[in-house]
Amino acid sequence: MIQNILKGIQAYSGALTLISKLKLWKFFFIPIIISVVTALIIGVSAYGLSDNIGNFIAQIWPWEFGKDTFTSISTFIGAIAVLAIGLILYKHIIMALSAPFMSPVSEKIEAHLTGVDKHHHRKTTFQEQLWRGIRINLRNLGRELLITIPILLLKFIPVVNIFSTALLFLVQAYYAGFGNMDYTLERHFKYRESIQFVRKRRGIAIGNGIVFILFLLIPVVGIILVLPMSVTAASLNTVKQLQNDQQLGAQNTLV
């Protein structure tokens, strides 16, 4: 697992060079717009909701003693909850809507790595790619929320809340990496086969997603570069995994 996480992270080291080499920037123009607009909408909403959620949580404390302290803690937890759910929504929205634009990127990276311009893989239309992206991300969104809500409740338990933050981060990372890997898997596998593929390579998905989430901590630049970098890195790793499984025709690694 640790080794695969490192593979997911290390793939970013060659991503920027590869984007320029293969002239992929033009494919990211619309996804970057989607990313920026989505981030702005969620950011404004999160700012307005955090205090309201904190005050709502504080109402469960019936005593005057410690009321201010509990309210402060509740407001902080409310902010964390809004941030966590906001990140979840943000990444699934941009990954779903960007699917038709990211598929050509991963296809060009695959051709570069294998030396084969035309693979005999599944042919899908713009609409099919969009629906595949929506379907995968709706599925992942539901599962991630089911896992995230109990983790957020753990934040009320002292000491345990430290570990819950790390666990929350890893869950976010896994589903981010999952979505990025599916841009390549979409051409080779059906829906359920792709899910099985990623499950067997959780470490790579987590490694890719860790950097994805860290990018979002960089003001402005992060939301612009997050998709180009993460999708390129995920495509590199996913194609190599397919090669290792001998599910691609050629084995030439050119990076």
Closest by alpha carbon to 213, among 178, 172, 183, 181? 172
Classify residue 247 by its DSSP letter.
-
Per-residue model confidence (pLDDT) at position 14:
85
Q: What angle do CA 64, 68, 69 make, to 5 degrees?
A: 110
Query: pLDDT tens, 123-179?
Result: 677 788 888 889 999 999 999 989 988 887 787 677 777 788 889 899 999 999 999
Question: pLDDT averaged over the chain?
Answer: 84
Share of the chain above pLDDT 70, in %: 87
pLDDT at 26 > cutoff 70: yes
The pTM (predicted TM-score) of the whole model is: 0.82
Placement of tokens 């990140």 in the chain: 87
Query: Which tens digits make up the pLDDT trace of 32-73?
Result: 999 999 888 887 877 777 667 767 766 777 776 767 777 777
Helix axes 191-199, 202-215, angle to 10 degrees: 90
d(CA 144, CA 187): 25
Residue with the two structure tokens 């960089």: 218
Whole-number Å distance between alpha carbons of 98 and 32? 9
- CA 189, 191, 194, 196 dihedral sign is negative
pLDDT band for position 251 (cuts 50, 70, 90): very low
At residue 84 the predicted structure's pLDDT band, cuts being 50, 70 and 90, is confident
Nearest residue to 203 (alpha-carbon basis) of 177, 242, 236, 231: 177
Q: Which position has the higher pLDDT, 55 or 213?
A: 213
Supply the pLDDT for residue 252.
43
Cα–Cα distance between 209 and 9 in angstroms, integer? Answer: 8
Question: Under 8 Å CB-to-CB from 124, ≥6 apart: which residues?
Answer: 103, 132, 186, 187
Query: pLDDT value at position 206?
Result: 96
pLDDT confidence of residue 120: 54
Q: Both tokens of residue 234?
A: 């995920």
Q: What single DSSP character describes residue 248?
A: S
pLDDT band for position 250 (cuts 50, 70, 90):
very low
Helices (H), 22-98: 29-58, 67-97
